[in-house]
Structure 1
Amino acid sequence: MVPAIRLRGLVKHFAEVAAVDGIDLDIADGEFFSMLGPSGSGKTTVLRLIAGFETATAGTVELGGTDVTAAAPFERDVHTVFQDYALFPHMSVLDNVAYGLRVRGTGRTERRARAQEALETVRLGGFGTRRPHQLSGGQRQRVALARAIVLRPRVLLLDEPLGALDLKLREQMQVELKQLQRDLGITFVFVTHDQEEALTLSDRIAVFDTGRVRQLGTPQEIYEQPTSAYVAGFVGTTNLLDADTSERLLGVRAEHALRPERLRLTPADHAPARPDEVRLPAVVVERIYLGTGNRVHLRTDDGLDLVALEQATGSLDEADHRGEHVTVRFARADVVRLNTDGES
């Protein structure tokens, strides 16, 4: 099957800086695909190259099997939703949504009907006569989405569209965005620096660093099986075990990662470890209440710093556990070996 987007050898230089350094990606038709990385990692530049807002230094961009590398933005069957919404303040919500159709020369009756349908899709059917300043942040975001989907693009590009929203509204919009994508069947390409957001929304994730893709996979693969210390450390919290520590604990000289929720804390004991587990005596350095549980910072007797995640038990425990001696236990199968070269 022809992918919705195919990038081959994509490079973008700004002066002497390689913002994008040889990206090869296939994004399937109807996929919710996220590009995740910190500021300056190249993810937004890739989005702009797909949209046609930037010209590639080298490589190709294909949409639906057609090479559009040299095509202008309006010649590409994509639409972009930005973080700042970019709504026209002097226009009604309905006119904002219909604006792209108006530019394309669609008749007034059809464009208003399609704009109203798009507003219904994002659950704003009764808001067409309002102005943007009369809407909440979440409602303005939905108007921006309606303005994009009314054009029925093959690909919708979203450049950190939820970044300006508060936490509760952002979580609500994540659910709505995923449902909208499933209902429409449009390919979504979502740029974010928020790891939880990418894990929540995506069918697949590309983790970016310095203009390259460090790992590509499903959310579960990215989180459970990181291939490098960079990915393990960027996506969620992790305990990184260097080669010396790994050799001492596991008998294997290689870097490993261990997620905090895989650690179990029990009262201090000197029972021998089973063959399939590791046990370490440790002291509680800090215990931080998170609401859903506790993040526990530990130091083992031989000086290794670890972080464990305790799930909430439902009982109120306000005791200060700092200095408490415990036994840290984890299964050998929960330790993930990392690539020494850091590449996927």
Structure 2
Amino acid sequence: MRIVQVMTPRGVRAAVVESRDQLRLIDYPGGTYALAQAAIDEGVSLAEVIASRRCHELLDYKQALDMRQLLPPVTHPDPAHCLVTGTGLTHLGSADTRSAMHAKAQVAESELTDSMRMFNLGVEGGKPDVGHIGAQPEWFYKGDGNSVVAPEQPFDVPAFAEDAGEEPELVGVYLNGPDGTPYRLGYAVGNEFSDHLTERANYLWLAHSKLRPCSFGPELLIGALPAHLQGESRIVREGEVLWRKPFLTGEANMAHSLANLEHHHFKYAQFRLPGDLHVHYFGTATLSFADGIEVRDGDRFEIELPALGRALCNPVRVASKSNAALVRVHSL
């Protein structure tokens, strides 16, 4: 089952993807977040709650997209209680990339970069046996729910940014129950969007490079995730495809199991506060930046992962460098 969220005259509503052309509204106020809370309260699956509340009202999917009525597939009523995070150095990548990584991994330990050491930790211990704890991954913070951009809405690039690059990723979405237990709602395709020039200048600026907008959706896959997922990432400029590349994700193409990545996020008590929503990006191995692409104002990102529904598309809106200004703090 795949669902979306739509802004209707009656407020936010979730809808089931009936086909590429049609959406069936779910007769329940509050959208996906409220449906997930109901599932937790009733002790049933999210799919069961949705199935029992489908209504007869259908919407035109393309029209909803064109009119920008679609929201991210899950949102929190208070964006401050949505935490957006991610893990890096998690993917093996394509066969060529994997071979290159493994070849480099044979050099002396003293010659390895910190990034390669982190990657090796994942290769060696990122998929522990069931019930065991594996290697800790790289982790980063992106922002709260205000940093999430809806499908078809623009990524605003701040005046101080050095770069604006896409990152096609698998996303997990979670809601903490009343006792703090995290529940996975489902998976979506995401664009984690980062400033790669800032990160490349000094890897200790990784935290700065991640504080940018992001997007996920438009659809949320509820249920089992295939181990092997293959998609395509594209950049469209003035109506023409400037760059395109396939990408792989899913556990079969990762150094870490999803369960291991989830453990190392939710092991922190502050990430298990009741009612909080978590949007977590699982990493990538495919970037246009690695191929020398410089994203410009007006470019359009298109990230397609067929198993998770329609492509996620967002244009880019770059602020003028002349708008950069010193932020002054005032004393009270």
Q: Which TM bucket (shorter chain)?
A: under 0.3
TM-score by length of 1: 0.21
Higher relative contact order (CA 8 A, sep 6+): 2
Q: Which has the larger radius of gyration?
A: 1
